[in-house]
Structure 1
Amino acid sequence: MNGRPSDPPASSDGEAGTSAPHAKGAGPGDPRPGAFRRLGLKIADLTRELADIAALAGENRLALTAMEPAAAAFRRMIEAWAAAPDAFAQAHTELLARHTDIFRAMSAGEPSHEGDRDRRFSDPSWRDNPFADYMRRTFLAQAAWSENLAWTAPGLSESDRRKAAFFMRQASAALSPSNLLSANPRALKALFSSEGRSISEGFERLQRDFDAGGGRIRPEQSDPEAFRPGDNIAVTPGEVVLRNELIELIRYHASTEAVLATPILIFPPWINKYYILDLTPENSLVAWLRDQGFTVYIISWKPADETTRSFDWDDYLRLGARTALGHVAAAHGSPPHAVGYCMGGALLCVLAARLAQEGRTQDHIGSLTLLAAQTDFSDPGDLSLFADEAALRASAELIADSGGVMPGEAMAEAFNLLRPEDLIWRFVEERYLLGQPPEPFDLLHWNSDQADLPGPLHMTSLRELYGANALAQGTFPAEGTIVGLEHIDAPVFIHAARKDHISPFPSVYRTLQILRTQATFLLADSGHIAGVVNPPSAGKYRYWTNPEQPATAELWLEGAQETPGSWWPVWSAWLTARSGAQTAPPPRTEDAQPAPGDYVRIPLPAPSRRSRA
């Protein structure tokens, strides 16, 4: 690498980088030629830097992506269309018709509202500049047409359709004119108004991100120095009441004088940190439950390291789920309401099934709540692309090359690919084309705060849940036996989010069809995060309820009642009805470490520190 791009030479005016005044002509005293020369030299330097970065980046394979199997499906899609030339000619005619409509509309001065809610084209310059407006309209038409090719290719399997469509979405997201300096009017305006400073700072940031990523380019989503657990996030007062090599169990006392007898124990996912449920005082689910009179416990998972990298599901059951549940039940003399979020919900279901097999449910679980948690993986959406045999082999190789752990940054790459426009290319534009530094954003900080996972745990999740759908089929291996959803005998509250791209609503709804116990289903608005974290004080979104349990999610929604606002009060009422009488709060633990504990503060290791086991 050549280091920082060289500074532009000083102009005849004496100061490098001084903005040139506007003038109608370029006369002898016009400073613009010097400004453009400086800009040209700067761009030449930056182009050489980019070539260096691209050459090195080409040596590094993007970890844990579905691009190889998706690319193979894309090739089969091309072959399918090649075998049906008449059908492809018709599809191509439709594309030409779309372009003709765009040209006619622009010639007539007709505005286009397509993509109005697309963040990439929200700047007015995309509509004010005719060239940019044409690029925007034709790109959106081409992207929609290209993805439709995957879904309508003759003779293609459903699996290949999904993979090819995924490939098309990734390609379209990457080729958006918003990612190109020469086609992005917002970036061009910044380039000329700053005399190249915006792109210079962007390339410097690109080089820093490349170096920090160990050869992978990961634009920062949020200011990494803006948030610290315990300082300005995860600040609800609590105490660590139990610690072992896998978990810290944190207790939050109710903020009310009278306390409900049945506590709540939350199993968060282990892919990110637990504090998504205690992000800020304004949107903390933990704090809100305290205010309703509940004593709340939550598990903080330790990121995988040399002592836990060999852990599998049985270890997470024994040292995590069973240990935490036993502690809470013993401390309160009553079984808690157990709550599982995302993959934490799958772990909770396995534990509940095992306790039912042992005849011990009544002593350990008062109720189950599943928050945006898939348990039937027969159609898990685009995440299925990461569980076919090619992706499994890639994951196993990556784990072997990373000392036995699945790197957290690889998991982040996979999830970011599910929403590439918002979680990848948006930040490419902001950081590298506009030269903008990352702003503080608590949710995006959490999204970037990943944890390494034990290799066996991750591979079992892929093979048994996403691959074999073992939990729904009643064949999930746990503690020397097999379990399934049908074994669960505690009452269950099932939450889904309508726009969830990680745990799709129809997939979550299928849990209701498999359970043989009393179950309540609620659908919240928004996605995987905002569909869960929606405090009543925000006055946002809506939710749907329906006591009937028809065969499909679509039929359930047709008969559901829509209610504006947060779903939290409905859930709290459901829990309260099963929580017994009010009682005195449990005693506090002397000399306990304050929340949020130590494990949540463990960062990912630097890429250079990852080594083969």
Structure 2
Amino acid sequence: MDKADVMEPHLPTLEQMQQWTDVLGRAQQLMLEQAAGAAGQALPFDPAIVARIQTGFADEGLALWQRFLDSGGLLRDQPDAVPATSPAARKDRRFADPAWTEHPFYDLIRQSYLLVSDYMMKLADAVDGVDPRQKAKLRFATSGLLDAMAPSNFPFTNPQVVQKTIESGGENLVKGLKHMLADLEKGQLTHTDGTLFELGRNIAATPGKVIHETPLYQLIHYAPSTETVLETPLIIFPPWINRFYILDLSPEKSFVKWAVDQGISVFLVSWKSADASMKDLVWDDYILKGQIDAIDTVRDLLKVKAVHTIGYCVAGTTLAATLALLAARGEADKVASATFFTAQVDFSQAGDLTLFVDDEQMKMVEQLSSNGFLDGRYMAATFNLLRGRDLIWNYVVNNYLLGLDYPPFDLLYWNGDTTNLPARWHLDYLTRLYRDNLLVVPGAISIDGTPIDLTRIQTPAYVQAGREDHIAPLESVWKMTENLSGPTRFLLAGSGHIAGVINPPAAGKYQYWACDTAQPSLDAFVANAKETKGSWWPDWRAWIEALDSRHVPVKGGRVPGKGRLKPIEDAPGRYVRMR
């Protein structure tokens, strides 16, 4: 049998396609009406706008099929039905395989899908007169539905899968089924081969000792690699959503190793993954028994007045609260500087994550946290949904349909190494910060009975954002600069929430933008920022040294376990291994 006969199904007539065009239009309307019903209200469409959208959809859909029939199926010689200016017409990695444009049948499927997608999004955007958050939910749901409906996700409408199935005699589907059943058993989508990575060997392998331990965290002190170090040590607070070793991946990617090699005394907090014993933990505990305890521990160990600090994501938000509490107590001089990696304090423009904090979502979180903690797989699924096309459907195609072997990728291994979250803290965080945005209201939040006010923070700050960050959007991170009162350096890194941070100089990737002087607004920053190729890490190192360049020899407490605090175990410690 000729391959083309296998790959090309019977093509419908123009009359049949008119019927399908009408069906798709009505299905589109039903889905949007259903979304409105779930929200408890009718969708207020402008009839004229809707009529114009539906007429354009029908006209362009029929024109697409007419061109297809008139050209004998050679659509690749015709312009796409979707306008070149439409988002749907931009380069789409789902259709990168040449067959999507070179084979008439698949080209028709591709263009039809993009046309439907474009007009469904237009109709979602046409909803007016509703709460902006409700409209954003509708748009997010429509986009997610369209990603799920993509022809690349189905075996008989994906030319790569069809070809692979023919070549392997269906073995790809059998292997893909094994992958899918294994994922169902563990309740999580697999992104990489986890057997290739071992903590302490090829990830989280920077030498050091655990020198302090509480029921909440372990404190790791990394072994110096230089004869002298900066007098002021550095404490890194990673987020307790996921494991700390995002900052200590393979040696060539490790921020921790790089900082050690730069002559910095580096300490890092390894948070414990929540279990039933942590059911009563709240945000105060992460501030008092976590960050402030670690700060005081390092100050006492090294007999220094202050420490440099880094807070990543949620730990950066918490670091801001810690600094506000220290300021309120008259203890701000305990922290020499604060660096914020993709952290937010004002959640008014926090992106799509704010769509997951309504009353129904809060009830679901409570139900999922009956044991006093939230299973980390829930949060992993939430973050995957924010980029469903890349983090869900791409792997459905590769893992389940093509049956490909998992690629060895340390960052993806880390992404799947989830941590559990204390239920009370998680609900409180989503409610008071994401939903009610109380952290930027002076005195609205109290820590250990003390009202805090971010505007009292005078600590020098380095605020880093990612240009393509979908978890902590640039506009939201910028607001940090509007709430701090001390000297602040804002830096915009290329890429997103992870790659924008984990960008070692040796890799020579991406770029960053910064201004020599503080700017009054984000627009002013964008207009005046200078672009520099490569990693921003050296810029941060120069900023740290400019604050205090004094060095001390490596001896006594500067060597892990040689000071007052004796070693408990080798890094990375056992907390990072607890599930």
- State if a TM-score over 0.5 links the two structures: yes
Structure 1 distance, partners of 2:429, 2:553, is 41
- Equivalent position SS for 1:80: coil
> 5 Å matches for 1:386-535?
386-400=356-370, 403-474=371-442, 475-535=444-504
Q: Helix, strand or coil: the match of 1:345?
A: helix
Q: What CA deviation, in whole Å up to 9, does each residue of 1:57-81 have, x standing for no partner?
A: xxxxxxxxxxx99974586699435
Contact 1:77–1:153, Cα closer than 8 Å, also in 2:
no
Q: In structure 2, what is the equivalent of residue 19 of structure 1?
A: none
Alignment pair present for 1:595 and 2:571: yes
Residue identity (%): 38
SS at 1:311's partner residue?
Answer: coil
2: CA distance between counterparts of 1:549 and 1:133? 50
Indicate conservation of the 8 Å contact 1:268/1:299, yes or no.
yes
Q: Matched residues in 1 for 2:263 and 2:62: separation? A: 63
Alignment partner of 1:84 is 2:52: no
Instruction: Write the letter of the residue equivalent to 1:310.
Output: D
Q: What is the DSSP-based 3-state SS (H/G/I as helix, E as strand, rest coil) of the residue aligned with 1:344? A: helix
- Is 1:149 paired with 2:123? yes
Counterpart amino acid of 1:96? A
Q: Please list every run of 5 or more consecutive structure 1 residues that lacks an aligned counterpart in the other structure.
A: 1-21, 27-31, 33-67, 604-613
Per-residue deviation, 1:99:
3.4
The whole-number CA distance in structure 2 between the counterparts of 1:358 and 1:230 is: 39
- What are the superposed Cα offsets for residues 294-332 of structure 1, whole Å, 9 maximum, x if unpaired? 011111000001221221111212221111111111122
Choose from 527, 530, 542 the match for 1:573. 542
CA distance in 2, matches of 1:413, 1:210: 13
Question: Counterpart in 2 of 1:47?
Answer: none
Q: Distance in 2 between matches of 1:239 and 1:76?
A: 52
2:61 is aligned, of 80, 88, 99, to 99
Counterpart code for 2:47:
P
Give the counterpart of 2:335 among 339, 359, 365.
365
Correspondence list, 1:125-164, <5 A: 125-164=99-138
1:352 alignment counterpart: 323
1:240–1:108 CA distance, 2 compared to 1 (3 A): closer
Mean Cα displacement is larger for which, 83-92 or 162-171?
A: 83-92
| Distance of 1:555 and 1:412 partners within structure 2 | 35
Secondary structure class of the residue paired with 1:271: coil
Q: Distance in 1 between matches of 2:454 and 2:215?
A: 29
> Which letter does structure 2 place at the counterpart of 1:495?
Q
Instruction: Give the structure 2 partner of residue 200 of structure 1.
Output: 174
Within 1, Cα distance between the matches of 2:221 and 2:486?
29
Inter-partner Cα distance in structure 2 for 1:228 and 1:71:
47
Contact (CA 8 Å) 2:316, 2:343: kept in 1 or not? yes
Aligned to 2:19: none
TM-score under structure 1 length normalisation = 0.82
Cα separation, 2, equivalents of 1:569 and 1:258 = 18
> In 2, Cα distance between the equivalents of 1:150 and 1:222?
35
State the AA in 1 paired with 2:420.
Answer: D
Distance 1:261 1:472 in 2: 33
Q: Does 1:537 align with 2:506?
A: yes
- In 2, are the aligned partners of 1:500 and 1:527 still within 8 Å (CA)? yes
Where 1:225 maps in the other structure, the secondary structure is helix
Matched letter for residue 298 of structure 1: L
**1:259 and 2:222 correspond:** no
Q: What is the alpha-carbon distance in structure 2 between the residues aligned to residue 317 and residue 71 of structure 1?
A: 43
Alignment deviations for residues 198-255 of structure 1 (CA, whole Å, 9 cap, x no partner): 1122223222322332xxxx33111121212112111111111111111011111332
Cα distance change on mapping 1:495 and 1:209 into 2, 3 Å: same
For residue 80 of structure 1, what is the amino acid of its counterpart? Answer: L
- Return the offset for 1:256: 1.5
Superposed CA RMSD: 2.5
> 2:226 touches 2:261 (CA, 8 Å); kept in 1?
yes
Q: Which moved more, 1:325-334 or 1:238-247?
A: 325-334
The residue that corresponds to 1:329 in the other structure is 299
Residue deviations 1:91-128, cap 9 Å, x none? Answer: 12232354366554954714769767433222222223
Opposite residue 278 of structure 1, the aligned amino acid is: D
Aligned to 1:65: none
Once residues 51 and 60 of structure 2 are traced to their aligned partners in structure 1, the CA distance between those partners, rounded to angstroms, is: 14
Contact conserved, 1:499 with 1:528, CA < 8 A, in 2?
A: yes
Shift of 1:550: 4.5
Q: Deviations over 1:525-547 (max 9, x none)?
A: 11000111111111111111124
- Per the alignment, residue 248 of structure 2 pairs with 278
Secondary structure at 1:262 match in 2: coil
Q: Kindly provide the amino acid, as one letter, of the partner of residue 93 in structure 1.
A: T
Partner-residue secondary structure (3-state), 1:230: coil
Q: May I ask how many residue pairs the two structures share in their alignment?
A: 534
2:75, 2:104 within 8 Å by CA — same for their partners in 1? no
| Structure 2 gap segments, 5+ residues each | 7-30, 69-73
Q: Conserved in 1, the CA contact under 8 Å of 2:222 and 2:560?
A: no
Moved more, 99-108 or 284-293: 99-108
* Pair 552,78 (structure 1): closer, same or farther in 2 beyond 3 Å: farther
